[in-house]
Amino acid sequence: MAEEPRRLSDFLRAHRERILSDWVEAVRVLEPAKDIERPVLLDHLPQFLDELATFSTTSAPAIRRQSRSILPPSTSSSGWRSATT
């Protein structure tokens, strides 16, 4: 069995066509979208998925570093404070 992608960017790239097909199928049940052609339903979604995959690859480490520096210290072993503490 093939290993599933572990990073968001890998997942988006590996499942891009399925995501787009699922989107069209989900939107088709809405009355206003029943007769709209596929390219119009997709609009900028393919480009958005590509840009999101790229962004998550290039920006995720910086976002994690920044969030660690602004979060208060935690008493949990995971490093995240729970809502109850």
Model confidence over 58-71: pLDDT tens digits? 875 665 565 565 65
Specify if 18 maps to a domain.
Answer: yes
Structure-block tokens of residue 37: 């052609």
Q: What is the pLDDT of residue 68?
A: 60
Specify if 82 maps to a domain.
Answer: no
Read off the pLDDT of each residue in 15-42 and give the average, rounded to a whole number.
Answer: 94
What range does the domain containing 33 cover? 8-57
Residue 7 host element (H or E): none
Q: Do residues 41 and 24 lie in contact, with contact meaning Cβ atoms separated by under 8 Å? A: yes
Higher-pLDDT residue of 76 and 60 is 60
Please count the structural domains in the chain. 1
Specify if 83 maps to a domain.
Answer: no
